[in-house]
Structure 1
Amino acid sequence: MALRNIKNLAPLLDRVLVQRIKPEAKTASGIFLPESSVKDFNEAKVLAVGPGALDKDGKRITPSVAPGDKVLIPQFGGSPVKVGEEEYHLFRDHEILAKINE
């Protein structure tokens, strides 16, 4: 059974669902950038966050990110999730490298 809508996917525990932000292939002045300079982009938008992992006493550990946050993710890792033509990734909260404050 394939997912038809990403909104039907709810991460569990400390997992975070993200979608990589596609880099611009063209600059603001209209210059096209070569594919080699834009292929590895590690910024992503957080779409959904699980309720948090449990510590040894059974208390919830609040995730460090929230839906809508922009984050820096590792180049490799995570679990890919494909919905239609779009690709998403599931990471554990502690695998997220940084939160981008704008």
Structure 2
Amino acid sequence: MAASTAVKIVPLGDKVVLKRQEAETTTSGGIVLPDSAQNKPQRGEVIAIGDGHVKSDGTKIPLTVKEGDKVIFSSYAGDEIKVGDEDYLLLRESDILATF
């Protein structure tokens, strides 16, 4: 039996793992942007979610977002992590501003 090379990230609590949307490489007019001029997008897709917020009495409230949701998040939210060849963003659900 071959070992799986896929790594599964399991966020804890109210944390969410996102795959950031690719940066725009051209403008609407067709001008190619150099890497230094490309902004990191504030959009991404939810890859994994934690098991929820813990209230002061110890009960858990499930997260609002779910795997596969497309979201918009705060500019400087979360921590960038690299797993294998893939880059992800790990942040709190509260840093997510909207779904689309």
TM, length-normalised to structure 1? 0.77
* 2:10 equivalent to 1:5: no
Q: Tell me how far apart the structure 1 counterparts of residues 43 and 32 of structure 2 sit (CA, whole Å).
A: 18
Aligned residues: percent identity? 32
Q: 4+ residue stretches of structure 1 with deviation over 6 A?
A: none
Give the superposition deviation at 1:27: 6.9
Greater CA deviation, 79-88 or 20-29? 20-29
Q: Tell me how far apart the structure 1 counterparts of residues 16 and 95 of structure 2 sit (CA, whole Å).
A: 9
Task: Determine which structure has the larger strand proportion and give its number.
Answer: 2
1:34 alignment counterpart: 33
Give the superposition deviation at 1:32: 4.5
Q: Tell me how far apart the structure 2 counterparts of residues 82 and 59 of structure 1 sit (CA, whole Å).
A: 32
Instruction: Verify the 8 A CA contact 2:27 2:33 in the aligned structure 1.
Output: no
Root-mean-square deviation (CA), in Å? 2.1
Q: Match of 2:60, SS?
A: coil
Alignment of structure 1 residues 83-94 onto 2, 5 Å? 83-94=83-94
Q: Match of 2:94, SS?
A: helix
TM, length-normalised to structure 2? 0.79
Q: Tell me how far apart the structure 2 counterparts of residues 39 and 56 of structure 1 sit (CA, whole Å).
A: 39
Encode CA deviations 1:58-84: one digit per residue, 9 max, x unaligned.
221111100000001122131221013
Number of residue pairs matched by the alignment: 94
Runs of 5+ unmatched residues, structure 1? none
